[in-house]
Amino acid sequence: MTIALNIFLLLVGFAALIKGADFFVDGSASMARTFKVPGVIIGLTIVAMGTSAPELAVSTSAALAGSNEIALSNVVGSNLFNLLMVLGVCALIRPIPIDKTILRRDYPFSIGMTLLVLAAVGIPVIANGLIGKAAFSDTVSEINRPLGIILLVLFAGYMTVLVLSARKNKTDEPEEKPLPVWKSLLLIAVGLACIIIGGNLVVENAKSIAAAFGMTETLIGLTIVALGTSLPELVTSVVASHKGENGMAVGNVVGSNLFNLMLILGVSGTIHPIGVNLASVVDLGILTVISVIAYVFCITKKISRAEGAAMVLMYLGTMVFAIVR
């Protein structure tokens, strides 16, 4: 198979992931409206899962295929892209107001989950004295099944808190008329099929491209795959900014990052333990620092255009570091 064909199939995979997530969200949201589930709960649960479906499909497919480097680096790369590029670009379009609930509850929890994963994979590196001795490509730790199960339990608890909070604070917003049940089910089925097929196409062709150009799976997962699976969040947030509703951007980013850390790593690690190389440990450390910096920007209750420009530059810097190391 030629490189040109690999690249074409990679793009087809990305398109299938994005369109599949779109179908899945539309069908699931319509089913929820049919059964009179409050709209705010739809946004916090079904829609959030739908926009994270590309990352879930890619990381799960990678874990099943034994491409563990792609499984973890896709999550780390997607979270970096969400924090720096999605928020940065939206802030450049229009300063982003920060919801106080996200500032007090969701964002600190996201930082805490990043620290938990970093500690889980980083402590063995320190305990075994591998700092300064192991190469970036050496496997030094793993996300094992017990950790995967812990992440899934934490995810279930977090979702429970969101649902209870949404029911307590729900507003009487007009609901859209739901689609016929058969059409909703068809959208869900087609969406899931596209997501599964797209995930397999992305993983297999990303591996082939990495091998052809001498790139590591960690690098291609951190850059190309992460960018492709984060396109739904980027498009949604940019459109919202153009409409003057960019206050949603922070919630979308924080929610997506939490789904990536808890659901995706939890599912992937439970299916098959994920071997972690030193490069991914370093990337998790960078993600933790970036998360704290972005939170400092949010404390003022608004991300300014200057801060948005700084975030975009930080993302470019992290990508340069990932390529040259």
- Evaluate whether 6 touches 208 at the Cβ level (below 8 Å): yes
- Report the pLDDT averaged over residues 155-179: 73
Query: Is pLDDT larger for residue 325 or for residue 108?
Result: 108
For residue 195, what are the domain limits? 3-324
The predicted model gives 146-159 an average pLDDT of: 94
Q: What is the pLDDT averaged over residues 32-58? A: 65
Rounded to whole angstroms, the Cα distance separating 18 from 255 reads 18
CB 283 within 8 A of CB 76: yes
> Pairing relation of β-strands 302-303 and 139-143?
unpaired
pLDDT attached to residue 246: 54
* pLDDT classification of 193: cutoffs 50, 70, 90: confident
CATH number of domain containing 7: 1.20.1420.30
The residue among 258 and 28 whose pLDDT is bigger is 258
Q: Output the pLDDT for position 288.
A: 95
302: pLDDT strictly greater than 90: no
Confidence of residue 225 (pLDDT cuts 50, 70, 90): confident
The number of CA neighbours under 13 Å toward the Cβ of 232 is: 25
- Comparison of pLDDT for 200 and 170, the residue scoring more: 200
pLDDT, tens digit (0-9, with 9 covering 90-100), for 67-112? 666 778 888 888 998 899 889 988 888 888 887 888 888 899 999 9
Residue 174 in this model has a pLDDT that exceeds 60: no
Largest CA-CA distance found in the chain, in angstroms, rounded: 61
Average pLDDT rounded to a whole number, residues 284-296:
94
Q: Which of 28-42, 60-74, 258-272 has the highest mean pLDDT?
A: 258-272
The whole-number pLDDT of residue 170 equals 57
Q: Are residues 81 and 315 in contact, defined by beta-carbon separation less than 8 angstroms?
A: yes
CB 115 within 8 A of CB 254: no
Q: How many CB atoms lie within 10 A of CB 32?
A: 20
In this model, does residue 293 exceed pLDDT 90?
Answer: yes
Tell me the backbone φ, ψ of residue 140, rounded to 5 degrees: -120, -10
Q: How many domains does the chain have?
A: 1
